[in-house]
Structure 1
Amino acid sequence: MHGQLAFLSQRMFNTPLAIKREKAEVVMASLADRLGISHIGRLDGSTISPMAFGAWDEEYESDTRAGRVVDPGYDMIADTGIAMITVRGTLVQKLRSLRPYSGMTGYDGLRQSILSAHADPGVRAIVFDIDSPGGEVAGCFDLADTVYALRGDKPMWSILSESAYSAAYALASATDKIIVPRTGGVGSIGVITMHVDWSKALTASGYQVTFITYGDRKADFHPEIPLSKEAFEAAQADINTMGELFVSTVARNRNLAADAVREMQAACFMGENGVSRGLADAVMAPDAALLALLAELA
């Protein structure tokens, strides 16, 4: 458990995130509670509990010599030629799993699954089954570029089984078509980072931390000290750069003007609202969207 907390903490604090703000706050509060920082907030922890759907199965870890099947990372819908790739929960750069695991999906696993499905002669079309608030910036735009470069060979649809926000939307936008349900959402085209200042809590507990550094900026962003003006400005500059990369990526993928994407100010749009903004192509339930894809393949 402590290892998992360290893993999540490293990926949530002092690192740029393309994640819906409300989700970032929920995970931050949950981690704070588990780390004993009760003044930030208390939750029941359910938001980062292991996933029931699409979880990694140990049988896939073995090789063919043991007589077991090697998981390709996608599921074939019987008699259709459609490969379905699941994108669930918080997105992270490296998870070392082809499937969503413990509430997270790794860009590394997604890349392998996407390339495998694309190379599979039995696959006629690829569906991204997405329900995610987003996640890490690291790895997101490289994967989006990979998906975008595969356009034109096999149809690739993002069928949302509720929402695709932030980094998840960046990936969805790279596919040929985005289908959102009536109560689902798209957008949150922005970047956020969180710095936790523990200095007052440490002082109140009788601790004093002294950093001895070579280089005036070496201790930037450490939680044991307040965030300096220089560190804040450096972080804001990086966030702005990544935000503009996000805007230009979505503008390219969706054939939208960059100014139109920028003016959305990282807002989220539900159902038809997302379609009217050019962020999705149609409002349908997931099963209806699959039937529409089958009709297109016929």
Structure 2
Amino acid sequence: MKQFFKIFFATLLALIIFSVIGIFVLIGVISNAASEEKVIVGNNAVLVLDLSNNFKEQVEHSPFNFLKDGDNEPPSLYEMVRLIRHAKSDSAIKGIYILCDNNVNGYAASEELRKALLDFKTAKKFMIAYGETITQKGYYLGNVADKIYCHPQGGLDWSGFAVNLLFFKGTLDKLEIQPQIFYAGKFKSATEPLRETQMTEANRLQTAVWLGDLYSEFLNTAAAARKTDTAKLRSLAVNGTIQTAHDAFTNGLVDGLRYDDQLKKELLAKLKLGDRDRINFVTFGDYAKSADYKNYSGDGKIALIYADGDIVSGSGDEGQVGSDEFRNIIRKARLDEEVKAIVFRVNSPGGSALASDVIWREITLARKTKPVVVSMGDVAASGGYYISCNADSVFANANTITGSIGVFSIVLNYQSFLKNKLGITSDRVKTAPYADMGNGDRPLTETEKRFLQAGTDSIYATFKTRVSEGRKKDTAYVSSIAQGRVWTGARGLEAGLVDRIGTLQDAIDCAARMAKIKEYRLREYPEKKSLFERIMNNYKRSVKTKMIKEEIGESEYKTLQELKNIKQMIGTTQARMPFKIDLN
């Protein structure tokens, strides 16, 4: 009994201590959330644009930031654009310093930032870019500056663009796993890694075209910035001329080679400060806390809805577009009489065809009551295009990846793997011939294969009809530009998939014109979660992610995420992009 009371009181004491600590942490969280400090920028400020930050479509700041040394979550992409625009007329901001070593943002997102920076330059404020080793994507934004410098012992990547795809057919053959694949559209190459050992000619063609378009845009902007021609810039890559920082300088790609202290000395001179003075560097995160950049007013509201991530049925997790959640969000905006227009920001490679149709239906209903304008981000393809095609007007960036109008489904047959590799066999009793269709422990019959291919073809036909009606195009024409083919925004404009090349701000301005309102307030969706939800979600997500990464490592964790994406594709008809685009 004595031992029992000893354990009991020790446990009770631990609970009391834990509760007290928890209360103090909660008080800190609440006070942090309730009163975010106003940052004083001061005079002679230089904004620091660090391109190693990922500017997401929508940001929900962690309630635990007060435990860190500052807020590590950068502003969203649209917040960045608005902050740059605000800084243009802010007398306290003298210039922008771009850290362009590596740019982790997509090319369409970078295009929006680039346009904002070009507009900033019209204020005659300085802009300097610097990198020790500058990637091509970093250079795409960095070359907008008045001067771009490189570390003398660093370098500039000028190797051209490439896409590398991995194929798993050989692995599946060795494991005796048979992917039973059904697809519609000769360019619909999402299943190629499971059924081929290399690119099909159709996929090679479409990839060469869209990759060439992105590279041409890269060269055109570089040529304009460096006052040269694209042929010369292309030859530098073809001949492998740029191998060192000195090569980049002698060929006119950078304005000079500087060490950090030399660069800071130049900035001090521009600010008319002495060598011992401190430069007032301000991050965009801090600037967002000081600047009144969301200067919207008026009685009318525009709903700005971010559809960012894979499209899935149900509510979806963070980073997914759940059909139930977004159906309710769009319906809420549709029924709200104060909302005069809807801007639907789509940054999605697609996903479930059924979930896409659920969202498409709600967009169609909303369009009957108020203007609906789509703005495409880095990618709005396959299911991402499905939910976009019926808007009143569709905006894309020139570098947006879109189209991919096609569908597929996959049913894996594990029978040989289970029997020959693991010694597992199966048996069954059923009340109808197709009751166990698609279970995976036996191959599909020819009749079942016909069922699944017919279902895939039917969904593809529906997809094309949605596009035909939304874009007001003949079905035969839609068939000619569909077939699962991927397009850039610039070619999508030529093909009639989009209406205009423009940014999210351009789409919002268009929505305001269509609604005939000059002054408006933006209401962003999905709405911010409650403090309690944010605490619990951040805690569960961070603990789970941290534990997995510690066990298997960072690169293996990314592989695990890709495997999860593949798992989502099994067994349901998908309207999904064929691959993840990752270019330097």
Normalised to the residue count of structure 1, the TM-score between the two structures is: 0.70
Q: Which has the larger radius of gyration?
A: 2
Structure 1 residue 219 corresponds to structure 2 residue 219:
no
The offset of 1:224, in angstroms, is: 1.2
For 1:150, the aligned partner's letter is: A
Structure 1 residue 107 corresponds to structure 2 residue 327:
no
2:337 aligns with 121
1:250 aligns with 467
Q: Distance in 1 between matches of 2:350 and 2:183?
A: 8
2:43 aligns with none
Structure 1 residue 144 corresponds to structure 2 residue 328:
no
For 2:440, the aligned partner's letter is: P
Range moving further from structure 2, 288-297 or 101-110: 288-297
1:184 aligns with 400
For 1:104, the aligned partner's letter is: Q
* Partner-residue secondary structure (3-state), 1:150: helix
The offset of 1:274, in angstroms, is: 0.5
* 1:86 aligned to which of 306, 323, 343: 306
2:447 aligns with 230
1:275 aligns with 493
Q: Distance in 1 between matches of 2:180 and 2:296?
A: 44
1:158 aligns with 374
- 8 A Cα contact 1:182 1:285, kept in partner: no
For 1:269, the aligned partner's letter is: W
1:259 aligns with 476
Could you report, residue by residue, the CA deviation over 1:64-102 in whole angstroms, capped at 9, with x for unpaired residues? xxxxxxxxxxxx99436221111011111211xxxx733
Q: Distance in 2 between matches of 1:205 and 1:90?
A: 34
* 2:349 aligned to which of 133, 144, 153: 133
- 8 A Cα contact 1:17 1:137, kept in partner: no
Residues 257 and 179 from structure 1, CA distance in 2 versus in 1: closer, same or farther, beyond 3 angstroms? same
Matches within 5 A, 1:191-206: 191-203=407-419, 204-206=421-423
Residues 107 and 25 from structure 1, CA distance in 2 versus in 1: closer, same or farther, beyond 3 angstroms? farther
2:387 aligns with 171
- 8 A Cα contact 2:183 2:456, kept in partner: no
Q: Distance in 1 between matches of 2:511 and 2:433?
A: 57
Could you report, residue by residue, the CA deviation over 1:173-209 in whole angstroms, capped at 9, with x for unpaired residues? 1211111111112211111101112112211111111
For 1:189, the aligned partner's letter is: I
- 8 A Cα contact 1:124 1:154, kept in partner: yes
For 1:109, the aligned partner's letter is: E
- 8 A Cα contact 1:140 1:171, kept in partner: yes
Equivalent residue pairs, number: 233
- 8 A Cα contact 1:17 1:135, kept in partner: no
Unaligned runs of 5+ in 1: 1-12, 29-75
Q: Over aligned residues, Cα RMSD in angstroms?
A: 2.9
Residues 133 and 86 from structure 1, CA distance in 2 versus in 1: closer, same or farther, beyond 3 angstroms? same
Residues 149 and 15 from structure 1, CA distance in 2 versus in 1: closer, same or farther, beyond 3 angstroms? farther
Q: Distance in 2 between matches of 1:247 and 1:144?
A: 13
* Partner-residue secondary structure (3-state), 1:269: strand
For 1:201, the aligned partner's letter is: F
- 8 A Cα contact 1:186 1:280, kept in partner: no
Unaligned runs of 5+ in 2: 1-178, 195-293, 519-584
- 8 A Cα contact 2:323 2:358, kept in partner: no
- 8 A Cα contact 2:377 2:397, kept in partner: yes
Q: Distance in 1 between matches of 2:327 and 2:439?
A: 33
For 1:245, the aligned partner's letter is: T
Normalised to the residue count of structure 2, the TM-score between the two structures is: 0.37
- 8 A Cα contact 1:17 1:136, kept in partner: no
Q: Distance in 2 between matches of 1:102 and 1:132?
A: 13
The offset of 1:138, in angstroms, is: 2.0
Q: Distance in 2 between matches of 1:171 and 1:183?
A: 19
- 8 A Cα contact 1:23 1:133, kept in partner: no
* Partner-residue secondary structure (3-state), 1:83: strand
Residues 25 and 85 from structure 1, CA distance in 2 versus in 1: closer, same or farther, beyond 3 angstroms? farther
- 8 A Cα contact 1:220 1:227, kept in partner: yes
- 8 A Cα contact 1:181 1:284, kept in partner: yes
Q: Distance in 2 between matches of 1:110 and 1:17?
A: 27
1:55 aligns with none
* Partner-residue secondary structure (3-state), 2:411: coil
The offset of 1:294, in angstroms, is: 4.2
The offset of 1:25, in angstroms, is: 8.0
- 8 A Cα contact 1:134 1:167, kept in partner: yes
Residues 142 and 293 from structure 1, CA distance in 2 versus in 1: closer, same or farther, beyond 3 angstroms? closer
1:62 aligns with none
Q: Write 1 or 2 for the structure with the bigger share of helix.
A: 2
Matches within 5 A, 1:65-84: 78-79=296-297, 81-84=301-304
- 8 A Cα contact 2:342 2:511, kept in partner: no
The offset of 1:21, in angstroms, is: 6.0
Q: Distance in 2 between matches of 1:274 and 1:239?
A: 25
The offset of 1:14, in angstroms, is: 9.4
Q: Distance in 1 between matches of 2:367 and 2:324?
A: 20
Residues 153 and 216 from structure 1, CA distance in 2 versus in 1: closer, same or farther, beyond 3 angstroms? closer
The offset of 1:217, in angstroms, is: 2.0
- 8 A Cα contact 2:399 2:490, kept in partner: no
Could you report, residue by residue, the CA deviation over 1:136-175 in whole angstroms, capped at 9, with x for unpaired residues? 1224324323322332532211111222112221111121
* Partner-residue secondary structure (3-state), 1:149: helix
